[in-house]
Chain A
């Protein structure tokens, strides 16, 4: 049985279709391992009992034409799931049970997958270490007391720790790619508008995007194929021809031109990151592709821009959590008092910090200097990419400026925490797709990732490049099962 959880999604689908495994076998295996993995704190809510029921039902009447036939899957607790508590990692939604399903999870269940439970994340997806969750921090399967990254920390931990074959996260400034990088897995942030935002608890609407997290590129392509769809319920969803990403996946990237942006060589970047990047360039060349030095001149403005735009939108998006309609409500003397107490007690420190920043930058008198200027810079950053893509097909960068850090190491230094996202935020600001693949280990044996950034709607291309590199890198995640007694 223990072998089952080591299998990739592609293998599991194959084995279920060939009737070598039943959905019940697979579901049981992941439930067993999840139950032994409480110390990782990857789950906020589990739905194991009904998952088993669903697996049995699937086995009684299997439909092997589906893309995820009877595959159990846990998802980030930012996706609203019908009749299953959805918290966004916050006390303020601790008792919230949606009566509706997000489009992305709906797409997954429609292809035959079965919900295992809801995965831990930073509160309202605000964080880079999964330490801001009301439900406690998540342990990395890589090492004890190591952060799995964030905000999709529970998702990363669950995939790397084999508690779920694959999962979905959300990425506003790096929340899929950074934890993927920290835990040695693959994570794709699709083009803005590729996956519907309907039913996903909003953080920053113009940046949020759901995406797959998996043990390998092929699994990632398959899950992306399932979740990406045009959705009229999301006005920012875009209608375009979506590929059969897994079927069209190829490792032939001969002749592709890959840009290497010099501005990503930031001050104080550890040598091992630079070395990893050089290794990546070599792999690209080994695959028969070409690398070209390019410039993305406004890169250094991306992080400050992000920390204006994202909090601004968040401050407004989170106004609905006021204790009036649903969720946590504190007792108050009057309406204002109730608001203040509800939001003071219901939101954690990081969320409150970002609401304050967002409120400030939108205030009259400051709007032009901050929000409006940030929007202009955002346009410049996008233009940088547009310019670059006249010469190259994709861009290769490190995923993060360092490997994973210890729990508590950066808690009191938000700026150093924010710096984690330095390579990932420009991609969100430009609305482009980006994928992080594991590419090596640092001196402590912690995983390091490389990021491939693509043109808008060109997910197939970056998946192909990642697929080709994956073969050359031949990365082996070092999971010791340290948390299993």
Chain B
């Protein structure tokens, strides 16, 4: 695909519009306790069971920074190739809401903990770099529940005070596909680092999407609208598509776009105005006087750097070099850390005489199919990497054919059985004795004289028929390579 073909443009009559997107991703920090209190952060707990006096903003309660969350943010910054700020400041963002007990959110406004960075996306037409503007730490709010009672709203403060990383991108994204790749890449990096589980269903990852449009080739940005709190990639893509078209329509009609905050209605598949710029909150940011500026030393950052595992980009590079994988194959294997782990374990268990290509094909083919159909993550795979490696080796050394291997694999799923044992117990070992196979083939040719003549007269398609007959007669156990060789000789 050429670069031109892949450009995402919106066409109206003679005009073409480019879409400009920036994301503010809210990633929940993977931590046992909250950003400024010792309450637990476990998902799905009974309402208001993970709330401390600090989280509920009782009089005289004070925030104390959780050092682990700071480390997680810095690690994420390192993973985003970003500048780590040795001095950052927590500010109060003041507004009233029932699920915001303090009446302010502690966030970082002027001086975030992480500055500019970048991530690389693998797009079909090549790599694309997306700039990171900043990453800052902030508290999550509680949850208002409006549908339990017709008269009252209930508030669950379990989330109140949970640490979030807000990762702000530069307006470098140009299509819903890039947004998809960007979110997946962020998620992948954070899961490698263990700083965010990236679970969008549980709200661990959500985003505010800034969208504007401009005539193709224009250098200036159009007026942007911010779509608040979108919690799945699919919805982000739908929202962008709707919003970009809405803006283009306005321009085509000669109208102006108002800078505003919009909501995406997932049922109607449309965005609608939430508040205009004039109605925007005045958050009255100021440094939180309960907290001192956050200062980290060079040594502290260096120690964290040493703690960073191999990240997807490096792993991919290594897979291509070390295992001679294609970029495409490497991408599939590295994008999810658990897949990469599984793959590397299989490689390790296969020993010296290994067929990596075969292993990759089997992982991305048979294994993925099983996981998909069972709705499992690779970390929950019913077949262990160890047994998987044995299976691949059985194919590689000719003990079983690829076809038999599929039967064996199906038997392995139930209770992670040893494929070697299955092969022995079921007598599935491949027939590779040339004498026996020759006798078998002689009989087939004899039984199908007419077809053999037709083949010799040039009907080459019939070769497949003879292979099939031979495999059938051997109960599928015949070594297909040998069958081919013998048939060619005999016919």
Residue positions of A touching B, CB distance < 8 A:
80, 86, 88, 93, 96, 98-100, 102, 197-202, 204-206, 232-236, 312-313, 315-316, 318-320, 322, 324-326, 335, 339, 359, 362-364, 367, 371
Contacts and interface: CB of A to CB of B under 8 A. Distances in A.
Given A320-B57, A320-B102, A362-B286, 8 more contacts: A202-B59, A235-B62, A236-B291, A318-B103, A319-B103, A322-B98, A324-B155, A362-B94
B134 interface: no
B62 A234 contact: yes
A312 B155 CA distance: 28
Contacts of B365: none
A198 B54 CA distance: 11
Interface residues of B, number: 31
Given A316-B284, A359-B284, A363-B282, A235 B59 contact: no
B102 A335 contact: no
Contacts of A313: 289
B411 interface: no
B92 A99 contact: no
Q: Which 4 A-B pairs have the closest CB atoms?
A: A319-B103, A205-B289, A362-B284, A206-B289
B103 A202 contact: no
A443 to B, nearest CB: 42
Contacts of A315: 94, 284
Nearest to B92: A316
B59 A339 contact: no
B53 interface: yes
A201 B64 contact: no
B101 A324 contact: yes
Nearest to A363: B282
Contacts of A371: 286
A319 B60 CA distance: 13
Contacts, number: 96
B67 to A, nearest CB: 12
A339 B95 CA distance: 12
A102 B59 CA distance: 10
A334 to B, nearest CB: 10
B63 interface: yes
B471 interface: no
Nearest to A335: B98
B60 A201 contact: yes
A43 B56 CA distance: 29
A202 B94 contact: no
B284 A364 contact: yes
B58 A100 contact: yes
A235 B66 CA distance: 11
B153 to A, nearest CB: 8
A202 B284 contact: no
A100 B60 CA distance: 10
A363 B284 contact: yes
Nearest to A343: B96
Contacts of B348: none
A312 B286 contact: yes
Contacts of B282: 363-364
Contacts of B283: 364
Interface in B101-151: 101-104
8 contacts: A80-B60, A205-B290, A233-B64, A235-B291, A316-B92, A319-B102, A362-B284, A364-B284
B286 A367 contact: yes
A438 to B, nearest CB: 31
Contacts of A197: 60, 62
Contact of A320 (B101, B286, B291): B101
Contacts of B289: 204-206, 236, 313
Contacts of A200: 60
